[in-house]
Amino acid sequence: MNANEHILVCGASRSGKSEAELARLVPLAQANDRAIVLMDPPGSLAAKVLLHLDLLGLGSRVLYDRLAETARVPGYDWLTRSENTDRLQREAENDERIREFAAVLLRRRIIQDAATKPLIEEGVLAALRLSLYQSAPVPLWWLADVFTTGSEARAHLLTHCTEPELVRKFQQYAALTPTARRTETGPAERILRAVLTSPAFRVWSGARRSTSTGSSMSAAS
């Protein structure tokens, strides 16, 4: 099969579309020379593929993530640091990852271009940079409290940040009057809290894994 080939399968309900795809996907998986991402909201095709792969002894290659279930999820690292050995390239890759994740957060507010909301952009990017530049990885949902002075999560993030300029930036935020701080950081904080305090987000970010290893600091206010 041509790697660049696109296929559109059309048909009425129960006309055999899933069976046709099943006959195509299973041999591709057996070839063992590629990754297959199957997005199937109804779930029927994914379940059939999973059963076939298990019968063929390929179950160890499968990551099965059903969004309706939170009891067993892989847990994703949404934001990881670049390991590029070139300093400038590493910084560029880190910046790209931060901005890409910020764009995902901002979609909740239907903000297509963060540059049109400079206060939100500045606050969200600063928070994500603080999370990325830690001496050891921390749960991403801790950022929900990053603008809350006196919070345990904020204190940990500032203490273990490897970039002094970032620490000074958050110290400057803390030095503002309460009114000025709400103006400067409030919009970004509301976006971070809306997403990062979601139980579903925490589970998909590996909350159970973090709790089992002792990283259970709460980000709730």
> Which pTM does this prediction carry?
0.72
Q: Is there a contact between 131 and 157 (Cβ–Cβ < 8 Å)? A: yes
**DSSP state for residue 59 in the 8-state scheme:** G
Token pair in block for residue 66: 């059903």
Per-residue pLDDT of the chain (221 residues; tens, 9 = 90+): 555 578 888 888 888 888 888 888 899 888 888 888 888 888 888 889 989 999 999 888 888 887 677 777 777 888 999 999 999 999 999 999 999 999 888 887 666 565 668 889 999 999 999 999 999 999 999 999 999 999 999 999 999 999 999 999 999 999 999 999 999 999 999 999 999 988 888 888 876 555 444 444 544 43
Burial class (CB in 10 A: 0-12, 13-18, 19+), 107: exposed
H or E stretch at 79? none
Task: Name the residue ranges covered by the structural domains of the chain.
Answer: 17-61, 87-212
